[in-house]
Structure 1
Amino acid sequence: MIEVKNLSKQFGRQTAVKELSFRVDSGRVCALVGTSGCGKSTTLRMLNRLIEPSSGEIFIQGQKVTTIPAEQLRRRIGYAIQGVGLFPHQTIARNIATVPRLLGWSKADIDARVSELLSLFRLDPATFAGKYPHQLSGGEQQRVGVARALAARPELLLMDEPFGALDPLTREHLQDELLHIQQLLGITIIMVTHDLEEAIKMADVIAVMDKGEILQIDSPQALLRHPRPGFVQSLVGGRDRSLRLLATQTLADIMAPLTGSAGTALPAATSLKDAMAELLWQGEERLTVVDEAGQPVGEVTLSQLLKQGAGA
């Protein structure tokens, strides 16, 4: 768990962050969302003491971060940024092994961890371990950047616009991979993004920031259903809010028992937004929900989907 109490940061006469207080439970994903210059990245950098706060307190697992030497703290916290920042003259294996080497891991443990992480990110160790960053695509480099951040099994992963420079299709694939790995490892993530769609997809809780303050912090559904008037309401949108709300749930959340067969079959993990698009494209009123083995487990009607979207 990470807890922030009355965190502030001033640069000269300018207040970048003003008395932020929030908590992220272990194993959860929190997204900081807002326009450029609102204090998101400054907040993130204060969490691992790349920037020292002007006032306030930060606790990780109940321990105040200022009681931990800064270098030691950063080795306990993974940090992934846009642009990756891989060392160009080191192999992919050595890039990933950076923090484990500093921590004095054995060569056998390092090699095993590098292979494990490359496999998790669908990069064949035999193919990629000996390559150099310039030999990889942008998406592959970003995978390696996140793998490096996870190498020493950190308690917390900080991510600053990690997928912002990638094309939409690659970004979506990496979001899916990260969600799978986060659920597999149970790691706590705090990420900065300007993309509300990304925050809705990735996060358990979203903190909307403006002018250095948190205006609202809520689950994606609560944020979309009950945005505070003003900036937050403007950010989540008008017409788009229904579609965004549908993206926060899956067919498994609303499916009913089967009453018959339907032409369209979709996995239970499909978002309601994607299910709505499929039904409208096919011109059908009902779809069958199937499990991972492809067996029917329920059904969802178009009217149910419309009702869920109307909740916004």
Structure 2
Amino acid sequence: MIEVKSLSKQFGTQIAVNDLTFKVDSGQFCVLVGTSGCGKSTMLRMLNRLIEPSQGQILIKGQDVTTLPPEQLRRRIGYVIQGVGLFPHRTIHQNIATVPKLLGWKKADIDARVVELLTLFKLDAATFAGKYPHQLSGGEQQRVGVARALAAKPELLLMDEPFGALDPLTRELLQDELLKIQQLLEITIIMVTHDLEEAIKMADVIAVMDKGELLQLDTPEVLLRHPKAGFVQELVGGTERPLRLLSTKQVSQIMSAQTAQPIGQLPTINANANLREAMALLIWEQVEQLQVVDAAGQIIGHVSMHELLQQGARA
């Protein structure tokens, strides 16, 4: 669990973060959103003491972070930034091995961890381990950046606009990969983004900040259904809110069980797709119903336009 108590940061006469108090449970994916300059990145960097707070307390699993030397603390916390920050003159293997090597891991254990992480991020170890960062695409570099942050099995992963510089397709693929890996490893993640759509897709809880203050911390669904008046309400949108709400649920959560043979040539959608994607496919295909398939492509149910409209109407 990450616990922040009355945390503030002042630069000269400017207050960057003002009296923040919140908790993030172990294994949760928390996303900080807000406009540029609202204090999101400052908040994130105080968690690993890249920036020291002016006042307040940060506890990780009950331990005050100020009781540890900064270097020791940072080796327990993975950190990923938008620019990746890979060492240009080190191979991919050497980049990922950086923290385990500093911690004194055995060479065999380091080698095995590098292969494990490259495989996890769908990068063939035989092909990529010996390459240098400039030989990789932007998306591949970002995968390696996250792999390096996870190399020493940290208890917390901090991410500052990790996908902001990527093209939309690569960004979506990496978002999907990160969600699968987060669920597999059950690691706590705190991520900064300015993109509300990304926050809704990725987060278990969203923290909305403005002018250095925390305005609301809730699940995506609660945030969209019950935004606080003022900035939060403006952020989540008016007419867009029902569509955004559809993004908070998967098709598997509302589908009807398959009780009969497949219905003609109806289009199919994966059970893990969100309801907004299902709505788009229904409109594109001009049908009233989709067949739902599992990861193996087996039909397990169906979802209708009527069911989707009922979900959106609850906003």
For the superposition of Structure 1 and Structure 2, which TM-score range results when normalised by the shorter chain? over 0.9
2:193 aligned residue = 193
Structure 2 residue 2 is matched with structure 1 residue 2: yes
Residue type of the alignment partner of 1:51: I
Decide which of 275, 294, 297 is 1:294's aligned counterpart.
Answer: 297
1: CA distance between counterparts of 2:202 and 2:277? 16
Deviation track 1:216-244 (CA, whole Å, cap 9, x = no partner) reads: 11000111111111111111111221111
1:298 Cα deviation after fit = 2.0
2:135 aligned residue = 135
1: CA distance between counterparts of 2:191 and 2:9? 19
1: CA distance between counterparts of 2:301 and 2:122? 32
Q: Secondary structure at the match of 1:298?
A: strand
Q: Secondary structure at the match of 1:281?
A: helix
1: CA distance between counterparts of 2:171 and 2:154? 23
Residue type of the alignment partner of 1:248: T
Q: Map of 1:46-195 to 2, 5 A cutoff?
A: 46-195=46-195
1:16 aligned residue = 16
1: CA distance between counterparts of 2:105 and 2:36? 39
1:251 Cα deviation after fit = 0.9
Decide which of 253, 276, 279 is 1:276's aligned counterpart.
Answer: 279
2: CA distance between counterparts of 1:76 and 1:88? 24
2:267 aligned residue = 264
2: CA distance between counterparts of 1:174 and 1:199? 14
Alignment root-mean-square deviation, CA: 1.0
2:36 aligned residue = 36
1: CA distance between counterparts of 2:32 and 2:69? 26
2: CA distance between counterparts of 1:284 and 1:54? 58
1:294 Cα deviation after fit = 2.5
2: CA distance between counterparts of 1:288 and 1:129? 41
Q: Normalization by structure 2: what TM-score?
A: 0.97
Q: Map of 1:230-269 to 2, 5 A cutoff?
A: 230-258=230-258, 260=260, 261-262=262-263, 263-269=266-272
Decide which of 305, 308, 312 is 2:308's aligned counterpart.
Answer: 305
1:188 Cα deviation after fit = 0.3
Q: Structure 1: 5+ residue runs without aligned partners?
A: none
Residue type of the alignment partner of 2:278: A
2: CA distance between counterparts of 1:287 and 1:82? 37
Residue type of the alignment partner of 2:173: H
Deviation track 1:155-188 (CA, whole Å, cap 9, x = no partner) reads: 0000000000000000001101111111111100
Deviation track 1:73-132 (CA, whole Å, cap 9, x = no partner) reads: 000000000100111111111111111111011111111111111111111111111111
Count of paired positions: 312
Residue type of the alignment partner of 1:5: K
1:259 Cα deviation after fit = 5.6
1:33 Cα deviation after fit = 0.1
Residue type of the alignment partner of 1:311: R
1:295 Cα deviation after fit = 2.5
More deviation in 108-117 or 283-292?
283-292
Q: Normalization by structure 1: what TM-score?
A: 0.98
4+ residue runs over 4 A deviation: none
2: CA distance between counterparts of 1:252 and 1:278? 16
Residue type of the alignment partner of 1:185: L
